[in-house]
Amino acid sequence: MNDLFQIENFSCGYSGKFVLEDVSFQISKGDFVGIIGPNGSGKTTLFKGISGELPALSGSSKLNGKNLQKMGLKEKATNLAVVTQTIEIGSMTVEEYVLMGRIPYRNQFQFFETAEDIAIAEKYMELTGVTRLRHKFMNALSGGEQQLAGIARALTQEPQLLLLDEPTSHLDITHQVQILNLIRRLSRELGLTVLMIIHDLNLAGEYCDSLIMMQHGRMRKKGVPAEVLNYKDIEAVYDTVVITRINPVSGKPVVFLVSEEVIQKK
Amino acid sequence: MNSKYIKWLLFLAGLLLLLAISIVISLSSGEVKISIRQLPEIFANKTSIEYMVLTKIRIPRLLLAIGVGGALSLSGAILQGIYRNPLVEPYTLGISGGAALGVAIAIVFGLNTISFLSLPLFGFAGALVTLFIVYFLSVKRGGLSINSMLLIGVMVSFVASSAMMFLMSITTTDNLQSIVFWVMGSLDESNNLLIRIAFYSSLAGLLLTYFFAQPLNALRLGEVKAKHLGINTNITIKLLFFVASLLTGIAVAVAGVIGFVGLVIPHIVRLIIGNDYRILIAGSFLGGSIFLILCDTVARTIISPNELPIGVITGFAGGLVFIVVLSRSKSHFKLN
């Protein structure tokens, strides 16, 4: 069995408020999985449930057979790294920020970075291409550069599972593609397992090995992009008319939107 | 070695040198002038007046300045860190308001005549009670809501100051004067035990805070992200809040309300050396000590033989220095 991450009948949230209900799926090592679904469908709640920000109500989420809910915060941080949409940090250099990824490996009495910490941080700064920015302040970076620094920091935690919350939102296509290419490469070369929330269905279909489609706090569908990105499911979940075709070069599904005016004319 | 650590080391060495200089200035100025060259001689001859002046008056006062200045400034640095808010200082949380109210109650009901410990004890009790009120009012669902804690602190502070003003308006002129004098703050404390308690407990606070240098650094990213890095933010914030409150409580109990140190000194240290708590903790403590030693020296010599309330000097000096530093620094000011 090579499932790195398993989530079974998982529900989380605060009862009375929006809760995620009965989600089950498995991810194999090295898989790049996208989570799609409209706003309010439970994508972020699922992330918070996995990372432990929201309490689990029932079910389990296991990483390498170990229950994440019962794992200590430090141990969890060495197995699971999260990159959030925005990084609100002012006067901290990229290098300092990336080195923060080594905090879970440090004990309370250790004040200084070890040579190993620095070597690991340098390796991932190199890999993500932020080495040239290392002495810049985080708030002086563009959105795309910040995301890269965020990914470098997460990799420095040397996790087994990487959670990415919309890494490409607010970015132009150059940076969207740059970041997704990087993540694709990381999952291939390092065997890194990635779970990513993504709004753009076309990017999701192009890059991810498989997709999880969320609706009303539940999982509606899971499978390879060609199965999940069909017009029936998309129209049902997003309440929007779409047309799906196949990308002639990559063979991946592409979703087209059609304006109201055109639909009425047909 | 890493150039960052060399910079920190130089910064610390500079601060220690400044501390030494301000200690010498403080010990030599006052009614009885003592020059540095006389010091070895004076310590050899334990019967001289100068020796008495140094050991009975100036050195205890110096220790108190080091302890109180360090405690207030460190407490400010901690609170700014856990609240991620640059305007927070020990007194924003109502701790000093509570302490002042405690002291006012003691004075109004004549309890200050019972023992020399009455006022410090009531001050400390007032600080602790406020702290518990702020703390328990803002505990929500097992977690602390940082913003509500701040707001409740500000409100408690207002309530306490209203209660104090009420007491002041119904009491005698003598009592009123005692309260006002206490509220203005002073390092004129004659009890050796209190001085030692303040000095050692602030050093203990400094050591204790160092155990939280990494968590404080992680908190610069925000609570949620610190948690993602394996920091138990709930426990960390609670413990640091207690350390900061105890530091403030003790400082206020012994020296009254001395404003500005906790707000200004950590910010100046941040501007010079950056926001890494591994250096900021020691930097703030030493900076606070140096600042208060110098302010106290000015306060007790400028209109000698009378003494100015030290809060007057800290406010003027701190405020002016800060405005100058801030307007000269090219990079705009950022806390995190």
Q: Is the peptide bond before A253 cis (omega within 30 degrees of 0)?
A: no
pLDDT higher than threshold 70 for residue B331 = no
| pLDDT for res B30 | 82
Per residue in B117-169, pLDDT (tens digit) is 788 888 888 888 887 787 777 665 455 566 777 788 888 888 988 998 899 89
For B:5-34, CB contacts with A below 8 A are 5
Write down the mean pLDDT value for chain A: 89
Residue with tokens 């040239």: A132
Per residue in B13-24, pLDDT (tens digit) is 999 999 999 999
Contact criterion met (CB < 8 Å) for B5 and A112: yes
The confidence band for B295, taking pLDDT boundaries of 50, 70 and 90, is very high
Per residue in A47-79, pLDDT (tens digit) is 999 988 888 888 888 898 888 888 888 899 999
For residue B88, give the amino acid letter. Answer: V
- State how far residue A26 is from chain B, nearest Cα, in angstroms: 22
Q: Write the residue in A75, A77, A109 that is nearest to B229 by C-beta.
A: A77
> At residue B261, what are phi and psi to the nearest 5 degrees?
-60, -45
Contact criterion met (CB < 8 Å) for B230 and A78: yes
Contact criterion met (CB < 8 Å) for A87 and B217: no
pLDDT higher than threshold 70 for residue A203 = yes
For B:263-322, CB contacts with A below 8 A are 274-276, 278
**% pLDDT > 90, chain A:** 52
| pLDDT for res B87 | 76
- Selected for mutation to probe chain B from A51, A78, A98, A100 (highest B CB count within 10 Å) is A100
| pLDDT for res A90 | 66
| pLDDT for res B286 | 97
What is the architecture of the domain spanning B3-328? Answer: Orthogonal Bundle (1.10)
Contact criterion met (CB < 8 Å) for A91 and B334: yes
pLDDT higher than threshold 80 for residue A88 = no
Q: Which two tokens stand for residue B303?
A: 């209109």
Q: Which of A19-23, A123-127, A151-155, B302-306 has the lowest mean pLDDT?
A: B302-306
Q: Write the residue in B278, B331, B334 that is nearest to A111 by C-beta.
A: B278
Contacts of A89 in chain B (CB under 8 A): 220-221, 336
Please list the residues that pair with A3 across neighbouring strands. A28
Residue A99 and residue A75 in contact, taking contact as beta carbons nearer than 8 Å: no
Contact criterion met (CB < 8 Å) for A100 and B217: yes
Question: Which CA distances in Å does B205 have to B70, B131, B240, B249, B275?
Answer: 10, 17, 10, 12, 19
For B:209-238, CB contacts with A below 8 A are 210-211, 213-214, 217-218, 220-222, 224-225, 227-232
Residue B179 and residue B168 in contact, taking contact as beta carbons nearer than 8 Å: yes
| pLDDT for res A207 | 94
Q: Which of A31-35, A257-261, B129-133, B309-313 has the lowest mean pLDDT?
A: B129-133
Q: What is the mean predicted confidence (pLDDT) over A41-50?
A: 90
| pLDDT for res B95 | 80
Q: What is the ipTM of this complex?
A: 0.86
**% pLDDT > 70, chain B:** 95
Report the chain A residue with the minimal C-alpha distance to residue B236. A108
**% pLDDT > 90, chain B:** 27
| pLDDT for res A101 | 92
Per residue in B38-89, pLDDT (tens digit) is 877 888 888 888 888 888 889 999 999 999 999 999 999 998 888 887 778 8
Q: What is the mean predicted confidence (pLDDT) over A131-144?
A: 89
Please give the DSSP secondary-structure letter assigned to residue A141: S
Contacts of B230 in chain A (CB under 8 A): 72-78, 103-104
pLDDT higher than threshold 70 for residue A8 = yes
Write down the mean pLDDT value for chain B: 85
What does the domain layout of chain B look like in residue ranges? 3-328
Q: Write the residue in A75, A100, A108 that is nearest to B211 by C-beta.
A: A108
> At residue A243, what are phi and psi to the nearest 5 degrees?
-125, 135
| pLDDT for res B265 | 93
| pLDDT for res B145 | 66
Per residue in B162-191, pLDDT (tens digit) is 998 899 899 888 888 888 888 888 888 778
